[in-house]
Structure 1
Amino acid sequence: MKRVPELLAPAGDWDALVAAVQNGADAVYLGGKGFNARRQAPNFTARALAEAIEYAHVRGVRVYVTVNTIIADEEMEEAARFLRFVYEAGADAVIVQDLGLLRLARIVLPELPLHASTQMTVHNTAGALLVGEAGVRRIVLARELSLREIEALKKGTGLEVEVFAHGALCICYSGQCLMSSLIGGRSGNRGMCAQPCRLPYTLCDAGGRAVAKPEEIGAFLLSPRDLNLSHHLPALAAAGVDALKIEGRMKRAEYVATVVRIYRRLLDRLAAGRFFVLPEESLTLAQIFNRGFSSGYLFGRPGRDLMSYRRPNNRGVPVGRVLAYDRQREIATIKLNLPLRVGDGIEFWVSEGGRVGAEVRRLLVDGGEMDAAPAGAVVKVAAAGKIRPGDRVFKTADAALLREAQASFNGQEIRKIPVVFRVHLREGEPLRVTVADAAGHSGAATTQSLAVRAEKRPLTLELLREQLGRLGNTPFELVELAGEVGEGLFIPVSEINAVRREAITALAQVRARVPQPLAEGLFAARLKDAVRAPNPGARGATVYLAVSCGTPAAVKAAVAAGADRIYFGGEEFRFRAADGDGGAGLAAVADYVRAQGREFFLLTPRVAKDAELAAALAFCQRTPAGALSGVVAGNLGLLRALIEAARVPVWADYYLNVFNLQAVTFLQERGAKGAVLSPELTLRQVEAMAGRSPLPLEVLVHGRLPLMVSEYCVVGAVLGGMGANRACSVPCRGRRFALRDRLGVLFPVYPDTACRMHIFNSQELVMLRFLPALVRAGVAGLRIEARLEDAAYVSRVTRAYRQALDAALGGAPQAYEKIEEELAGGDFTRGHYFRGVV
């Protein structure tokens, strides 16, 4: 048998758990009521979670509990106690996103295996090594990695790697999306994503004029197709992938049952050395749910072939076309290309009014009523709407498929575990029964009665096999019986049944393998050690003003207007190609800034795959000593690599979701010299952190914040013709674009020179009035995000903040309401400083 990856299935509720287990999952992932990235799923209460772990373990299935959100300081102790509960309930691992929780877990529960969530945005070898060194056993890799990149990362780290194989795709790198958060206050990093990416948008120029018509290409420009790697399992196994993950904790149990069943078959064939996918299996995967299918980024960037522009939800499978429609009777005549049954759900793709859905309640074939009709038949069904001849018909729900799926989680044990019974029976002794599985787990029981001479029907191995094999609706089946049975002996059948039940129960308890509870004193001591307030780090004599700039001209404007620190570099945006200075001499810019007595920090991208990371490191190593005041790491891999290689202080950027003091301490312990806090924190939370932080902390106070970064580029796909086998014509060079939503709001879109798309908030963050509060909070620095802006903008904004900061530091704050309105055109946001996130 060949080695195959673990099949990991979602369980958003109890039915989905049972569906996953009974249909062949090797492991399931599920969450409690809090601290998980799918808080809108039903999820599990504490009691139900413990029962779920026991249920799965008895049946040989591992359980990974999701604690994969960012966590506030005031929640840390509760999170630690939840981890303790999960460990004592027997969970096989916990999936985490928050760097602070990772640190806490290693101190409080070193016995508990940890997996790094895809929300950690691990997409390069150095990032994987960093979290591996911090105690993580498995990495759930970013979905944007290609097969070659997955294989290289696996070889370069030796860690377990898990990849998504089937289900919904996020358009943004997981853990890097603030779209739902900044638009509506529902944070994806807190498990409450409202999925604004699945809504309609129009691609426009910077002035709001449409450059692509939704009616021609579709309106759902950020809605990807679903991932389906069912045909590529041999390549994934050969690349060293340890686990294949099915996405879907928000999906119904029928979906989980069906997808797991198909993937189990495919992996079993792969293990047997004869891999193939039947057409009917592909059809089943499409029928249960699809937005169209894609292989994601497994073989490179697919461009528009990744996307489902015309609809963001289930499209079903094409079942036929309309031949005629009787408007008075509201009856459609359809020529079928697939079977159709009473109870199926269908949808007509009409040219006016969107889609028309219907349930097949009656099926007329040749004038007679039937329960089912085969492919090729002409049928009549009732449906109301603007249906016309030629309209396509899709089957969105298959009643028979749903019944088959439901049968797998209705309480019947489908997945049986082979066991061997051994018996020992001699006259004057009790019957001793032992039952064992292939892994060596066993349970035993002994009758109360002693064996006596039989008056009628003596016990034999065959009779004992019949009684012991009556395992009914347990997860076990007898495959072998061995032992010693004396001749002519008798034990009551009731006692044989009792020892069978007792031995099986004992075996189940052993298989459930609940660990020993952690001593309260030990846990309390560890928790106290973990949450002990760190020694506050040294602060500068005053609060600095930092400005992120995109051009040398903007840098000069910021310096002239009073910036203390300049950030430069990071992603280069293609709209600047016409400016002539976007990529000009970093060294020259650094020399200028230092000559003016200011600090110069190099920004690095938040996405840098291995080759890009190497280029960033090479630049830092070539830079003359003293040219840089520091470097800002945009991702975990750059953080690790820069701390090892750079000769200057390394700061962690806000892309690392620094949301609590534990995360700050985690960064400090790895060599970081400062951190930029998450823009999802409130002012109160910033105040609580800044006074106790072991590192200097910086906060964002002004600018247009990024909502998402994606390997998919809407400009390149829609205007540049970018597809799986088609190069992009680079229409973004020297141009600015935006996405317009249903309310007419424009969100700027900027592709970078690596062809990644960056979407920015429609409103600018403006905190000018509240600089005194931030100064009192004890932050080390205030940052203006102006990489998109020209020199005139940078000069105006920097000067206003310089004056406001000087006034606040001098104890004479002024009124800046009018200036704020002028800076942002009267339309701006305070971000999450006062509203927080849910």
Structure 2
Amino acid sequence: MNQSVKPELLAPAGSLEAFFAAMENGADAVYCGLRDFSARAKAKNFTPADLERMLNYAHARERRIYVTLNTLVKERELPQLVETLATLEALRIDGVILQDLAVWRLARRHFPGLELHASTQMTVHNAAGVRQLERMGFTRGVLARELSLAEITAIRKKTHLELEHFIHGALCFSFSGQCYFSSWLGGKSGNRGRCAQPCRRRYRYHQQEGYFFSPNDLSAIDLLPELAAAGVCSFKIEGRMKSAEYVASVVGAYRQVLDAPPAQRKAALSTAKDRLKLSFGRLPTRGFLTGPNPTDIAAPSVKGSTGRFLGEISAVRGGDISFKTRDRLHVGDRLRVQPKTDQAGTAFTVKTLQLGHKAAKVASPDTLVTVPSPFANRFRKGDAVFKVSSDQAFTLSDAACRRRLEAAAPRAETITLAVSLRDDQLHLRAQWHSLVVERTFAVTTYAAENNPLSLDILREVFSRSGDAALILGELTAETLPPVVIPPKRLKEIRRAFYQELAQAISGGRSAPRREHQRAAMEALLPADAPRPEATAQLSVLVGDPRDAHLLNDPSIARLLIPLTPRLARHVALSARKLRNRKDKIIWDLPFILFEEDWQIVKQAVEILVEAGFRAFRLNNLGHFELFDGLEEPQLSSGFRLFSLNSQALLAWRELGISEAGLYLEDDRDNLGELLARDVGIPLTLTVHAQVPLITSRIRIKGARSDRSLVSDRGEKYSVDDRSGLTVLTSDTDFSLIGHLRELQNLGAERFLVELDQCGAFSERGKQVLAAAKDDRPLAGTSKFNYEMGME
């Protein structure tokens, strides 16, 4: 690498074993989750006590630990979130990675000791989004994985925030934070850390079966100098659900390349790539880094399973399986058998091997091998066998990990010390942050014949802290008399003073925690919002400005029109045609706007504002800057801006949002709790839509919107790429129509019906609007999570 300061190598730690694998193989930092609010809820994650010891261990080695609070928070979880933030601030964590603006607002107002990093779940993908993070006080942004090196470079030139980017590991087909697929199928929300990975399953399109939504794994080990030159300061490895072996292999490989001198980089790359083969990932791809249209990022013919494919089962007898292995196989290796039906696979460790009738410790490639498993009659001929870890894996038992942590010394605190000596009284004044401890000790002094008491002698004594975890920083002393204090007495004073100081510092850490936590808890909104008495207001999202005459219907209060880049190029014409309805028009901004499209939409917004339009719906942080310098815009937020709790809604209000859209995945219980709080702005709830289950920059070759994709369970989906993005929707609409009066009783007063996909004047559109007016349920629709709940 040519940079004077190497980028940070950031590793995942989903277990204590993985933490030590990262530490021992060269990670500069790790990111990990607590038991709550982690986007990898299935990982082992950590307790605060674990985290404190991990911090002691890491900081002693000048490494950093970031904690992920990157899930959406329900209203009833806000007190628990406050407690978590107070704990993390007291632990002096190196940074918090977040998605929900409730975390941002509470941290900024009540926990100023926390450094904030914006998760990739926030879908920040342009310079305007990064600049908005800067305004909000973030210190780092994790960029969307859909960016090319050229796009990252352009962002870096226009911003100053630290930029983090993934360099290795599993990819999501969808923009992170914008996938509702798992939640749609069973309430397991990816934005709550519980993704069931339906994208890894097999689907049928016409006569073709394949894994249409299962990307290969990112591997950017060839592009590290280019990423550094683009301005990325932190290279992030995905994998908090992965094994310690994976962490050891991947971190070690990237460390080797990062540290290699330019002349040795080619050889280091070759060795590192061999090491990466031990990580048992999917096929490698550079993703979008080399350009916006990668050809190798997803292949429907490639199964979405991790691990090294060994072969297909040729025979089954009880629990014994036979197959011809493509790779070397050892006793102690761990296998996973993936059934043809594409249901969950089954993993087990190889205890014995049989080559014909002979037992063996190892099987060579291209050998027919029989492996006994503990699962009788579970597997079938044709099931795929994968090796997911080897007998040579990084292994460290949980007990061994904990012994290492317990042996780590507490983190030392740096203090300043002022010393004075008058009338045989030694006065010490120590300061740690705002805490000051002063004590006076009686001493016996003697006239100095040589080596009188000096600053150097004091520093030699007080630099040794013994059992107290203290580091002497600045030391000052008034003019000292030419005397000697017996060294034994000085050491006694140091021990007594430092012991008292360490206890005061310990208390000094807990006092701010209690105060910060108390203030934050008091700031949470009470559940006493007045119920609205007004008639519910209905708005409609249409697909085309020509549908504006829908406003002739007196039951429709407002119309939302998508301000797509295509429409933006000719928006002046639409502005003239709609000028008499401008008070009832809201322009809906596309949530993905890469740099070129952002500029086009910026010009369109200026034209519309000049024409007298004021209302716009924002769907991404990068939209705020579109309105800089414009007079009195009326900004609302869409569901893609994550409003699942009252603190997030207050955050949007403070950022300039005057009407907020509630979250599409939400359920009845949380809606009731949220609507019981007065957030000071009107709230809009989407009650009918074709849910965008996936929105992606990845194109699916050959799949068109005229024919459904079908899952192995018979569910049907449609793919639309006319916007330049791939959008997957269910053939079943989401609808809460039939529950509008119930929702009014909960406190909802503004409802949105989305008809942009089917058309407002189509037979379907007319049917939906008629049902909405009568609050009559629509047959063949889904209530999404409303009744079944969102995990």
Q: Give the TM-score normalised by structure 1.
A: 0.72
Q: Is the 8 A contact 1:704 1:760 kept in 2?
A: yes
Q: Is the 8 A contact 2:568 2:604 kept in 1?
A: no
SS at match of 2:242: coil
Deviation of 1:138 (Å): 0.8
| Aligned residue in 2 for 1:833 | 786
Q: 1:834 to 1:566 in 2, by over 3 A?
A: same
Equivalent AA in structure 2 for residue 673 of structure 1: S
Q: Is the 8 A contact 1:225 1:307 kept in 2?
A: yes
Deviation of 1:705 (Å): 1.8
Deviation of 1:33 (Å): 1.0
Choose the corresponding residue for 2:369, options 354, 359, 381. Answer: 381
Choose the corresponding residue for 1:767, options 736, 742, 745. Answer: 736
Q: Is the 8 A contact 1:108 1:530 kept in 2?
A: no
Q: 1:193 to 1:369 in 2, by over 3 A?
A: closer
Deviation of 1:295 (Å): 0.8
Q: Structure 1 CA distance, aligned partners of 2:221 and 2:616?
A: 42
Choose the corresponding residue for 1:718, options 689, 697, 702. Answer: 702
Q: 1:353 to 1:311 in 2, by over 3 A?
A: closer
Deviation of 1:137 (Å): 0.8
Aligned-residue identity in percent: 29
| Aligned residue in 2 for 1:5 | 7
1:556 equivalent to 2:549? Answer yes
Note the aligned Cα RMSD (angstroms): 4.3
Deviation of 1:602 (Å): 0.9
Equivalent AA in structure 1 for residue 180 of structure 2: L
Aligned pairs (5 A) from 1:524-563: 524=517, 526-527=519-520, 530-531=523-524, 543-557=536-550, 559-560=552-553, 562-563=555-556
1:523 equivalent to 2:512? Answer no
- Report the more deviating stretch, 254-263 or 771-780: 771-780
| Aligned residue in 2 for 1:565 | 558
SS at match of 1:151: helix
Q: 1:6 to 1:536 in 2, by over 3 A?
A: same
Equivalent AA in structure 2 for residue 306 of structure 1: I
Q: Is the 8 A contact 2:316 2:381 kept in 1?
A: no
SS at match of 2:158: helix
Q: Structure 2 CA distance, aligned partners of 1:799 and 1:527?
A: 43
Choose the corresponding residue for 2:711, options 741, 752, 757. Answer: 741
Equivalent AA in structure 1 for residue 232 of structure 2: V
Count of residue correspondences: 684
Equivalent AA in structure 2 for residue 565 of structure 1: R
Aligned pairs (5 A) from 1:278-427: 278-309=269-300, 310-316=302-308, 341-344=330-333, 359=350, 361-362=352-353, 371=361, 379=367, 381-382=369-370, 396-397=387-388, 399-402=390-393, 404=394
| Aligned residue in 2 for 1:456 | none
| Aligned residue in 1 for 2:80 | 78
The superposition leaves residues 495-536 of structure 1 with CA deviations (integer Å, 9 ceiling, x where unpaired) of xxxxxxx9xxx9xx99x9999334256315631564357999
Residue segments in structure 2 that go unaligned for 5+ positions in a row: 373-378, 410-494
The superposition leaves residues 601-649 of structure 1 with CA deviations (integer Å, 9 ceiling, x where unpaired) of 1111111122211111111112363442411112110133335547531
Equivalent AA in structure 1 for residue 557 of structure 2: D
The superposition leaves residues 312-363 of structure 1 with CA deviations (integer Å, 9 ceiling, x where unpaired) of 1124167x999x9999xx9989697x65545446799999999999959447
Deviation of 1:555 (Å): 3.4
Q: Structure 2 CA distance, aligned partners of 1:659 and 1:169?
A: 26
Aligned pairs (5 A) from 1:45-444: 45-203=47-205, 210=206, 212-214=207-209, 219-269=210-260, 274=265, 276-309=267-300, 310-316=302-308, 341-344=330-333, 359=350, 361-362=352-353, 371=361, 379=367, 381-382=369-370, 396-397=387-388, 399-402=390-393, 404=394
Choose the corresponding residue for 2:681, options 677, 687, 695. Answer: 695
The superposition leaves residues 707-757 of structure 1 with CA deviations (integer Å, 9 ceiling, x where unpaired) of 12101122xx235xxxxxxxxxxxx5xx5343211121112221133x211
Deviation of 1:788 (Å): 0.4
Q: Structure 2 CA distance, aligned partners of 1:286 and 1:626?
A: 59
Q: Is the 8 A contact 1:360 1:382 kept in 2?
A: no
Q: Is the 8 A contact 1:331 1:382 kept in 2?
A: yes
The superposition leaves residues 127-186 of structure 1 with CA deviations (integer Å, 9 ceiling, x where unpaired) of 122222212111111111111222222332211111111111111111111111122101
The superposition leaves residues 80-119 of structure 1 with CA deviations (integer Å, 9 ceiling, x where unpaired) of 1111111212311111110121011111111111111111
Equivalent AA in structure 1 for residue 88 of structure 2: V
Q: Structure 1 CA distance, aligned partners of 2:771 and 2:628?
A: 31
Q: Is the 8 A contact 1:534 1:694 kept in 2?
A: no
Q: Structure 1 CA distance, aligned partners of 2:762 and 2:267?
A: 62
Q: Is the 8 A contact 2:222 2:269 kept in 1?
A: no
Q: 1:249 to 1:802 in 2, by over 3 A?
A: closer
Equivalent AA in structure 2 for residue 837 of structure 1: M
SS at match of 1:57: helix
Equivalent AA in structure 1 for residue 711 of structure 2: D
Equivalent AA in structure 1 for residue 257 of structure 2: L
SS at match of 2:762: helix
Deviation of 1:279 (Å): 3.6
- Report the more deviating stretch, 597-606 or 235-244: 597-606
Q: Structure 1 CA distance, aligned partners of 2:180 and 2:173?
A: 12
- Report the more deviating stretch, 160-169 or 740-749: 740-749
Equivalent AA in structure 2 for residue 706 of structure 1: P
Deviation of 1:235 (Å): 1.1
The superposition leaves residues 264-323 of structure 1 with CA deviations (integer Å, 9 ceiling, x where unpaired) of 2222215897464444532331232112111111112345511153311124167x999x
Q: 1:42 to 1:362 in 2, by over 3 A?
A: closer
Q: Is the 8 A contact 2:89 2:114 kept in 1?
A: yes
Q: 1:35 to 1:386 in 2, by over 3 A?
A: closer
SS at match of 1:516: helix
Q: Is the 8 A contact 2:755 2:765 kept in 1?
A: no
Deviation of 1:568 (Å): 0.9
Q: Structure 2 CA distance, aligned partners of 1:349 and 1:689?
A: 42
Q: 1:544 to 1:364 in 2, by over 3 A?
A: closer
The superposition leaves residues 679-723 of structure 1 with CA deviations (integer Å, 9 ceiling, x where unpaired) of 123345434444502222111011222112101122xx235xxxx
| Aligned residue in 2 for 1:484 | none
SS at match of 2:610: coil
The superposition leaves residues 804-826 of structure 1 with CA deviations (integer Å, 9 ceiling, x where unpaired) of 3xxxxxxxxxxx5xx423xxxx2
Q: Is the 8 A contact 2:332 2:390 kept in 1?
A: yes
Q: Structure 2 CA distance, aligned partners of 1:515 and 1:171?
A: 47
Q: Structure 1 CA distance, aligned partners of 2:550 and 2:725?
A: 28
Deviation of 1:68 (Å): 0.9
Q: Structure 1 CA distance, aligned partners of 2:340 and 2:75?
A: 53
Q: Is the 8 A contact 2:73 2:100 kept in 1?
A: yes
Q: Structure 2 CA distance, aligned partners of 1:629 and 1:353?
A: 50
Q: Structure 1 CA distance, aligned partners of 2:659 and 2:151?
A: 30
Q: Structure 1 CA distance, aligned partners of 2:68 and 2:111?
A: 16
Choose the corresponding residue for 2:590, options 575, 591, 605. Answer: 605
Q: Give the TM-score normalised by structure 2.
A: 0.76
Q: Structure 2 CA distance, aligned partners of 1:797 and 1:590?
A: 29
Deviation of 1:778 (Å): 4.0
Q: Is the 8 A contact 1:139 1:159 kept in 2?
A: yes
Deviation of 1:31 (Å): 1.1
Q: 1:271 to 1:669 in 2, by over 3 A?
A: farther
Q: 1:351 to 1:613 in 2, by over 3 A?
A: closer
Deviation of 1:543 (Å): 3.6
The superposition leaves residues 748-800 of structure 1 with CA deviations (integer Å, 9 ceiling, x where unpaired) of 221133x2111123322222322223334444421001110132247524642
